Amino acid sequence: MTILIAHRGASGYAPEHTLCSVALAYGLGADFIEQDIVLSRDNHPIVLHDIYLDQVTNVAEVYEDRKRSDGHWYARDFLLAELKQLRVHERGLEDNSGPIYPKRFPYKKGKFEIPTLQEEIDLIKGLNQSTGKNVGIYPEIKRPAWHRQEGADITQFVLQVLIKNNYRTEADNIYLQCFDSLELKRVKAKFNSALPLIQLIGKNSWRESADDYDKMVLEAGCKEIANYAVGIGPSLDLLYATSSINNSVIPTSLANYARKYDLKMHPFTFRKDSFPLVFESYAEMIAWFTTELKIDGFFTDFIDITKKLVEVSKC
């Protein structure tokens, strides 16, 4: 079975990580809904993609004088009650001159707030009860080493919430993801967790962790990942290349190593409004990943369209 993971909720249609976006993703047929998690000053796991508040909230207006010397407003500097005063909006460019995706939800419109992890779980489990479906959660521990520098063990707080809500094993319909390999190993070794872990693989330039992703994509890297994780979540461009013979799209060695070491592949991010030009259309891209690469899951901003294309590709 191929799973459809709602990347930051139905973020192609509503501001990312808002409860509205989660409910919409649920209604559009997501199998799993993703939560990126950072900590508030009072150690509440909240659902927010960046450690900064800058690009998705009105923090600059509400707490004008509380940015750090680097010019960023950090979620970690605010109590949950203070974060709840903020309005969330469609993601803006770094200089806040406008939205990243102008055709998505209108920039700086709507009334949305930052949810806690618990609030999102309550919503998803509530909908599971009322619909009889069983949609899963897919939390990501964000920047654990940075949180430690800030004096907080984010993993401990996230796991507390997950355990309290009876998320313990793969049977509970959850994957736990992180870019930091040391932290995933720690989830197993220190916390004795049986949660299925996904090793995210990005680019070294993103500085998501101290890991060397150039090495992680090699055979030894994948063999090592198989010791602690059930799968990988690579940036999707790490999985294809173009053939020097006829320019056709071909799998990279990472895809082959993932198969060899029995690692699930859940690449990110499939966006119908932003996809690599080696594919002629979004439909062609989804077809290639479904039939040629046979990936196990799609992280997508557009659950409904992607799901339909996956189904069509399999026919």
Residues taking part in catalysis: 7, 49
- In the chain, which residue ranges form alpha helices assigned H by DSSP? 19-27, 59-62, 80-83, 117-131, 144-149, 154-164, 181-189, 213-216, 219-225, 253-260, 282-287, 303-314
Q: How far apart are CA 74 and CA 50, in angstroms?
A: 9
Kindly state whether residue 77 participates in binding Ca ion, applying the rule CB under 5 A.
no
**How many helices (H) and strands (E) in the chain?**
12, 11
Distance CA(59)–CA(87), nearest Å, equals 8
**Which tokens belong to 56?**
């998705």
Q: Is the CB of residue 60 less than 8 Å from the CB of residue 96?
A: yes
- Give bridge partners of residue 36 from the DSSP assignment: 140
Closer by beta carbon to Ca ion, 31 or else 140: 140
User: Using an 8 Å Cβ cutoff, are 210 and 243 in contact?
Assistant: no
The residue within the footprint of Ca ion, chosen from 16, 31, 36, 77 (CB under 5 A), is: 36
Strand pairing of 249-251 and 240-242?
A: antiparallel
Nearest distance, CB of residue 268 and Ca ion, angstroms: 7
C-alpha gyration radius of the chain? 19
- Considering only 135-143, 164-172, 253-261, 269-277, which stretch makes contact with Ca ion by CB under 5 A? 135-143
> What DSSP assignment string belongs to 38-54?
EE-TT--EEE-SSSB-T
- Minimum CB separation from Ca ion for residue 140, in Å? 4
Return the structure tokens found at 166.
């009876």
Q: How far is the CB of 34 from Ca ion (least distance, A)?
A: 6
- 140 forms part of the interface with Ca ion (CB under 5 A): yes
Q: Which residue is nearest to Ca ion (CB)?
A: 140
Q: What are the tokens at 244?
A: 């020097």
Binding-site residue total for Ca ion (CB under 5 A)? 2
Contact between 278 and 289 (Cβ < 8 Å): no
Sole residue written with tokens 């013979």: 245
Nearer to Ca ion, 197 or 249 (CB): 197
Residue with the two structure tokens 């909230």: 57
Smallest distance, Å, CB 125 to Ca ion?
Answer: 21
Single out the segment in contact with Ca ion by CB under 5 A; choices: 18-26, 29-37, 186-194, 286-294: 29-37
Rounded distance, CA 114 to CA 72, Å?
A: 17
Decide whether 140 or 180 has the Cβ nearer to Ca ion. 140
Q: How far is the CB of 132 from Ca ion (least distance, A)?
A: 28
Instruction: Pick between residue 249 and residue 269 the one whose CB is nearest to Ca ion.
Output: 269
Q: Is 16 in the site for Ca ion (CB under 5 A)?
A: no
CB of 250 to Ca ion, least distance (A): 27
Contact window for Ca ion (CB under 5 A) among 25-33, 36-44, 74-82, 130-138: 36-44
- Which of the ranges 11-19, 132-140, 157-165, 247-255 carries the binding residues for Ca ion, by CB under 5 A? 132-140
Output 36 or 211, the one with its CB closest to Ca ion.
36
Q: Provide, rounded to whole angstroms, the least separation between the CB of residue 36 and Ca ion.
A: 4
- The encoded tokens of residue 304 equal 């409904």
Nearer CB in complex with Ca ion: 200/309? 200
**Window of 35-43, 64-72, 89-97, 217-225 that interacts with Ca ion by CB under 5 A:** 35-43
Site track for Ca ion across 40-59, x = CB under 5 A: --------------------
Q: Which residue ranges make up the site for Ca ion (CB under 5 A)?
A: 36, 140
